[in-house]
Amino acid sequence: MLWHKDRDLSAFSTDDCIVLPGGFSYGDYLRCGAIARFSPMMQSVIDFAGKGGKVLGVCNGFQILCESHLLPGALLKNENQKFICRNVWICGDNGQPLKIPIAHGEGRYYADAQTMADLEANHQILYRYCDEKGQVTSAANPNGSLKNIAGICNKSRNVFGMMPHPERAVQPILGNDDGLTVFRELFFSQIKELV
């Protein structure tokens, strides 16, 4: 556990992954993640990512990563202007649908046209909202995200952000372990690329 007022990441190497979890950070009433990005710990996380360390942001963590400019774009209020808490389907490039919970009021991914073109060209869109058959449709988009975006990475592929909560779907006792697939895809595929 890391405290937002601390700066010390000496216990971590670039083989480790720092996770910015979901929840609420201070100042979210202004704009989610806007104040949290200025914490001393986030300055150290930015340096860590700049050296190649892996960083994963889930929900509010994704918002903070965008506010910190570790990931492009922004997370806006959901298109329906309501908080959404339910299971949704997401898929990566392989088209395999995964059932993962969401719980957010500001999860609508937005970026300008050039950023969107860059994300597509660099294969930085990791997950899109889809239906249970893996079809990416507007009806499957819970929050109005551009191009159904549920998760992205940076160009270096060491910083990842997503609105869905894979950590809430990792045990059969919870009725779903599709989140394990997300973690395998994010981290074990990265290890294979490096070998």
Question: Which residues participate in catalysis according to the annotation?
Answer: 59, 165, 167
The secondary structure element, H or E, covering residue 49 is helix 40-50
| Three-state SS annotation for 79-123 | CCCCCEEEEEEEECCCCCCEEEEEEECCCEEECCHHHHHHHHHCC
- What tokens appear for 182 in the block? 């997300």
CB of 104 closer than 8 Å to CB of 145: no
Distance in angstroms (rounded) separating the CA atoms of residues 50 and 68 = 12
